[in-house]
Structure 1
Amino acid sequence: MTKPAILITENINGRWIKELKTRFTVRIEQNLWKSPDKLKNILPDYSAVIVRNQTHLSKKILVKGTKLQIIGRAGAGLDNIDVDVASQKGIVVSNTPDQNSISVAELTLGMMLSLARKLKPAHDHVLEDGWQRQRFMGTELYDKNLGVIGLGRIGFLTSLRANALGMNILAHDIYVSPDAASVTETHAELVGLEELLNQADFISCHLPLTPETKHFFNYEQFCRMKSTAFFLNLSRGKVVDEEGLIRALQEGEIGGAGLDVREKEPPEKGPLSRMDNVILTPHIAAFTQEAQERVTSAVCKDVTSVLEGDAAKNFVNFPKPKSSQALI
């Protein structure tokens, strides 16, 4: 009997991938995400596909997945997968919603500290044989207001850690009630967006990318913030209008920014890379050894379960494949 075949389109490896290879036929092409036409042409041969965030599984590609039973997303976001089309085709979509949350929360705190204490320009100054300490007067996190937009798992873990540092948590999330654990355990105050933007010293974005959240942060929003406020985005790049952010930074409307994600990835070099009050990282929030071990484990277990006739644990549409339906 022929083993089911699994296609991996990005750089995903480790012991859990080796385990997959003992059960199934596994093909790894870590740069396949750059060639959507090639992906479309070979997809009919596979029962499962495992991706990160760079592979775009659009309707045009998914209609070719005639054998496809499951899409395993090694990460939380689903904006690169047409989940509706996958569901119409009877394909299980599985992701890893919590496995990298700690790593993202820790990097958020790291960026906050780096911005508050001007670590990047101070580091560069010392490398140039400088020692002018007075140029790098920073600010404490203690007793400052952290505004968290999106109080899901990552927003909650970020708030919990910030609260332990003595920060006051202001949260905005229309789907969270005042008696939710994410509010009570972090001593957060649920507030309206306007109040959060006006009062926060640090603003951390933890929103998924949807049609409603695209460019949620624009020039007008940045102008509502304190001129000393620091803005952080470790969620999705297109949640921020980068032209508006650049303008706000150039005009001194906000104090600085930390971005792990960009509107276009990889981004072109531009004004943000030349600003001392901006920290840029290449979408590494979830890239720790521990997080990737958890992520890879979870996605491989779900793929294995589905291909062997069992239910996925972290499914976002249904736990087992359903009969394919004709697409309009």
Structure 2
Amino acid sequence: MIVVCEFITPSGLERLKQSGLEVHYDPNLWKDRAALKARLAEATALVVRNQTQVNADLLAAAPKLKVVGRLGVGLDNIVQPDLKARGVQLYFARGINAVAVAEYVLAAMLHLARNIARAAAHVAGGGWNRSAFGGFELANKTLGLVGLGEVGLRVAKRARAFGMKVVASDPMRLPWESAVEDLEIELVATPEVLRRAQFLSLHAPLTPETKELIRAETIATMPRGSYLINTARGELVNQADLVAALRSGHLAGAVLDVVDPEPLPEQHPLRGVDNLWITPHVAGLTAEAQEAVGLRVAEGVLSILGVA
């Protein structure tokens, strides 16, 4: 049996059903831990998104489990040593939503630079103040990237097309790699990225080293009037320090697609900050990306199960 306890696209679900195996699909099953455990008693595969906590406690209820499929790229909700201890394989759609996230970052920069939403609201309210909403150009501005993986490289490519300069840090990249050279990305240490970035976009995994990478001390090294975009993990940013920097004007604005916790509580301090825009973790959720993710994970899970 394959258990899918969070949303999967119809095409991905259909591919699982084509295998001939029994498929139990309930996109809300993750909310009921006891019911999920009961369903896993006969499961050979479990397919999740980012809400299901896959750890030793859950795996103990799934003695026949062979594979966990993750509909996405982040693995924070999956304790991989616990999977390894039980011989359960993990399959996830590495990099498959990279284009969607990269386009979101470009959209965020354009939003910050051109004030289109506010200009439109101004006109809708009866105004016509052209001088207040001219904004500025991305050309010749410096984009800093912390993390230069599948998403970071695609952001860099699009930023270069806009005439931006790109500086980046990533311990896994070398300056003479063709992708780095061809895009004319300058690889530097992370403190140097922060020091030079007029736009800073985060694409690093959450680790003990990157947790609260953006905090009062590091924000202070960024250029006054710079902008922050975070599509990685909410925990990379000290949110109280970010609010302080936005209200003081040291940061001119920020766009967050990820926060901590998610969803954001109604009375959270991040709410109500004029130069902060928050979206509900949607950067990678384009229709095209979701179709690709659902099919890729379905194929990967079936391959591990040995089913054509």
TM-score by length of 2: 0.94
How do 1:1-328 residues align onto structure 2 when only pairs under 5 Å count? 5-22=1-18, 23-269=20-266, 270-308=268-306
Residue identity (%): 39
Paired with 2:82 and 2:124, the residues of 1 have a C-alpha distance of 52
Q: 1:70 to 1:9 in 2, by over 3 A?
A: same
Q: For the Cα contact (< 8 Å) 2:9–2:291, is it kept in 1?
A: no
- Alignment deviations for residues 84-124 of structure 1 (CA, whole Å, 9 cap, x no partner): 11011000101111211001000110001001112232233
State the AA in 1 paired with 2:130: R
- Alignment deviations for residues 34-72 of structure 1 (CA, whole Å, 9 cap, x no partner): 223332333222111111112111221122221110000
Partner-residue secondary structure (3-state), 1:273: coil
- Alignment deviations for residues 11-39 of structure 1 (CA, whole Å, 9 cap, x no partner): 11222311211322111111222223332
Paired with 1:102 and 1:109, the residues of 2 have a C-alpha distance of 11
Structure 1 residue runs of 5 or longer lacking an equivalent are 311-328
Paired with 2:53 and 2:116, the residues of 1 have a C-alpha distance of 36
Q: Which moved more, 1:189-198 or 1:224-233?
A: 189-198
Structure 2 residue runs of 5 or longer lacking an equivalent are none
Q: 1:209 to 1:46 in 2, by over 3 A?
A: same
Paired with 2:178 and 2:280, the residues of 1 have a C-alpha distance of 32
Partner-residue secondary structure (3-state), 1:139: coil
Q: Which moved more, 1:203-212 or 1:146-155?
A: 203-212
Q: For the Cα contact (< 8 Å) 1:47–1:70, is it kept in 2?
A: yes
Paired with 1:95 and 1:254, the residues of 2 have a C-alpha distance of 35
Q: 1:45 to 1:130 in 2, by over 3 A?
A: farther
State the match for 1:316 in structure 2.
none
Paired with 1:101 and 1:69, the residues of 2 have a C-alpha distance of 28
| Offset at residue 251 of structure 1 (A) | 1.5
| Offset at residue 128 of structure 1 (A) | 2.4
Partner-residue secondary structure (3-state), 2:17: helix
Q: For the Cα contact (< 8 Å) 2:15–2:299, is it kept in 1?
A: no
Q: 1:193 to 1:19 in 2, by over 3 A?
A: closer
Q: For the Cα contact (< 8 Å) 1:115–1:279, is it kept in 2?
A: no
Paired with 2:94 and 2:150, the residues of 1 have a C-alpha distance of 8
Paired with 2:270 and 2:123, the residues of 1 have a C-alpha distance of 22
Q: CA RMSD in A?
A: 1.6
TM-score by length of 1: 0.89
Paired with 1:44 and 1:181, the residues of 2 have a C-alpha distance of 49
Paired with 1:272 and 1:122, the residues of 2 have a C-alpha distance of 23
Q: For the Cα contact (< 8 Å) 1:68–1:91, is it kept in 2?
A: yes
| Offset at residue 210 of structure 1 (A) | 2.1
List structure 1 segments (4+ residues) > 3 angstroms apart after TM superposition.
269-273
Q: Which moved more, 1:40-49 or 1:94-103?
A: 40-49
State the match for 1:313 in structure 2.
none
Paired with 2:151 and 2:132, the residues of 1 have a C-alpha distance of 34
Partner-residue secondary structure (3-state), 2:264: coil
- Alignment deviations for residues 140-174 of structure 1 (CA, whole Å, 9 cap, x no partner): 10000000000001000000110111000000112
Partner-residue secondary structure (3-state), 1:147: strand
Paired with 2:217 and 2:203, the residues of 1 have a C-alpha distance of 19
Q: 1:130 to 1:307 in 2, by over 3 A?
A: same
Paired with 2:222 and 2:239, the residues of 1 have a C-alpha distance of 16
